[in-house]
Amino acid sequence: MAQAKASLNSIYAEIKSLRREVELIRTALIPEEEISNEERAEIHEIREKVKRGERIRLDDALAELNV
């Protein structure tokens, strides 16, 4: 029983170590960007529209983006 517990502890320690390494790799590959208050407000507005189930036509969205 003690040997099984030691094995579980070593596996747990290895998993924690791997999680830290993955987080470091993720941070290096996907750097966080700072966004302006205006961009943050726009993101929240879009999120609220999605929650309410609002939809817009693709043509209207593209026109708004000048695409």
pLDDT digits (tens, 9 = 90+) for 36-51: 999 999 889 888 988 9
Please tell me which residue, 63 or 2, carries the higher pLDDT value: 63
Maximum CA extent, the chain? 68
Q: What is the mean pLDDT of residues 33-38?
A: 87
C-alpha distance from residue 28 to each of 20, 24, 61 (Å)? 12, 6, 33
The full set of domain ranges for the chain reads 1-32, 34-67
Percent share of the chain, pLDDT over 70: 97
Helices assigned H by DSSP within the chain: 2-29, 37-52, 58-64
